[in-house]
């Protein structure tokens, strides 16, 4: 294998048990969940509740999503959480809903339904290592346009959606080579997302966060909707807890999720149908 293949890299590719999820209609999925006595609904944000945009700032919550979530939060026997790689403050601004659980930075932070927030899993002190990764990325990128390092409290994201694919293919391995040693020393790992490299502490992933939230609300059965590699841990976690994973993707691909919706607009149709099923209210 190439010298540069980082050993501390964790490509959250679906595991051997992964298979192609079955296509499901939004209404059919809602009817299926109507029969569950208690439901904990987990949703990723980017690519699930919002279409992927050229930059994270430009992403917009899908029309109708906030209203449907507000009504679901009030439904009997339902808890709702949004689980994202974004920092909590960004999620709070995009989803101004009381009663919603929020998980930020892949599980490093949680905001309770009453608005309190706390570190969810101990990330350790990774600040100096993240500084070093930023410095090393800058050595390779040298101010090239299109690349963006987003610093978070317990990780960082290297966005390259606006970079030509050939340039990304050429420079990403060099950056990852330079990151290898400081990441290993600090216990950090890389997860490949849609045109983004996410660096985060090994201890943190969405699957652990989902299990922690389920432990706070025993008796609820989980459903998790997500679109990206980082969601695979959560799909596996809900399967382990007797729940259901739903991949949001226009094209099928192997996943730990068992079902598939095609896009955020379909997620909104599912949420709206679920409101009707669980509250008896029909909203246009």
Instruction: State yes or no: residue 232 binds Mg ion (CB under 5 A).
Output: no
Instruction: State yes or no: residue 205 binds Mg ion (CB under 5 A).
Output: no
CA distances from 143 to 129, 131, 134, 161, 180 (A): 21, 17, 12, 16, 21
Rank residues 189 and 232 by Cβ distance to Mg ion and give the closer one.
232
Is 215 known to be catalytic?
Answer: no
Rank residues 148 and 174 by Cβ distance to Mg ion and give the closer one.
148
Rank residues 228 and 232 by Cβ distance to Mg ion and give the closer one.
228
Task: Say if residues 106 and 86 touch (Cβ distance below 8 Å).
Answer: no
Buried b (16+ CB within 10 A) or exposed e, 26-36: beebbeebeeb
- Name the segment binding Mg ion (CB under 5 A); options: 64-72, 151-159, 219-227, 261-269: 219-227
Residue 226 burial (CB count, 10 A): 28
φ, ψ dihedrals at 202, nearest 5°: -55, -30
Identify the H or E element spanning 41.
strand 39-43
- Rounded least distance, CB 133 to Mg ion, Å: 22
Instruction: State yes or no: residue 56 binds Mg ion (CB under 5 A).
Output: no
Rank residues 227 and 256 by Cβ distance to Mg ion and give the closer one.
227
The single residue among 30, 40, 44, 160 that binds Mg ion, judged by CB under 5 A, is 44
The single residue among 189, 198, 205, 228 that binds Mg ion, judged by CB under 5 A, is 228
User: In which order are the strands placed within the sheet that holds 244-248?
Assistant: 22-23, 259-261, 244-248, 221-226, 39-43, 78-83, 101-104, 109-111, 117-119
Q: Which residue has the tokens 């400081």?
A: 182
φ, ψ dihedrals at 142, nearest 5°: 45, 45
Q: Which of 196, 202, 206, 191 is nearest to 129 (CA)?
A: 202
Task: Say if residues 95 and 64 touch (Cβ distance below 8 Å).
Answer: no
Give the total of residues touching Mg ion (CB under 5 A): 5
The single residue among 21, 47, 201, 264 that binds Mg ion, judged by CB under 5 A, is 47
Catalytic residue among 44, 228, 231, 233: 44
What is the pairing mode between strands 244-248 and 259-261? Answer: parallel
φ, ψ dihedrals at 232, nearest 5°: -60, -35
- Rounded least distance, CB 31 to Mg ion, Å: 25
Instruction: State yes or no: residue 227 binds Mg ion (CB under 5 A).
Output: yes
- Name the segment binding Mg ion (CB under 5 A); options: 13-21, 139-147, 158-166, 220-228: 220-228
Instruction: State yes or no: residue 46 binds Mg ion (CB under 5 A).
Output: yes
- Name the segment binding Mg ion (CB under 5 A); options: 38-46, 75-83, 118-126, 159-167: 38-46
- Rounded least distance, CB 46 to Mg ion, Å: 4
Residues 249-278, one symbol each (x = binds Mg ion by CB under 5 A, - = not), give ------------------------------
Q: Which residues are catalytic?
A: 44
Residues that bind Mg ion (CB under 5 A): 44, 46-47, 227-228
């Amino acid at each position: 294998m190439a010298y540069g293949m980082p050993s501390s890299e964790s490509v959250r590719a679906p595991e051997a048990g992964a298979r192609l999820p079955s296509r499901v209609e939004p209404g059919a999925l809602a009817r299926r969940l109507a029969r569950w006595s208690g439901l904990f609904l987990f949703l990723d944000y980017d690519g699930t509740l919002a279409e992927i945009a050229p930059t994270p700032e430009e992403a917009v919550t899908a029309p109708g999503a906030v209203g449907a979530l507000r009504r679901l939060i009030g439904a009997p026997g339902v808890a709702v959480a949004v689980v994202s790689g974004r920092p909590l403050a960004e999620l709070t601004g995009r989803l101004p809903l009381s009663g919603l659980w929020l998980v930020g930075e892949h599980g490093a932070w949680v905001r309770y339904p009453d608005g309190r927030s706390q570190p969810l899993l101990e990330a350790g002190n990774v600040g100096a290592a993240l500084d070093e990764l930023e410095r090393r990325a800058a050595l390779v990128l040298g101010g090239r346009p299109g690349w963006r390092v987003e610093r978070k409290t317990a990780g960082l994201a290297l966005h390259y959606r606006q970079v030509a694919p050939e340039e990304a293919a050429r420079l990403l391995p060099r950056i990852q080579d330079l990151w290898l040693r400081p990441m290993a020393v600090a216990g950090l790992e890389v997860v490949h997302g849609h045109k983004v490299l996410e660096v985060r502490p090994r201890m943190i992933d969405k699957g652990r966060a989902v299990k922690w939230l389920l432990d706070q609300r025993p008796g609820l059965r989980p459903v998790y909707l997500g679109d990206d590699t980082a969601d695979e841990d959560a799909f596996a976690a809900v399967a382990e807890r007797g729940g259901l994973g739903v991949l949001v993707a226009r094209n099928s691909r192997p996943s730990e999720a068992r079902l598939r919706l095609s896009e955020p607009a379909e997620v909104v149709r599912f949420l709206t149908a679920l409101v009707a099923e669980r509250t008896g209210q029909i909203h246009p």
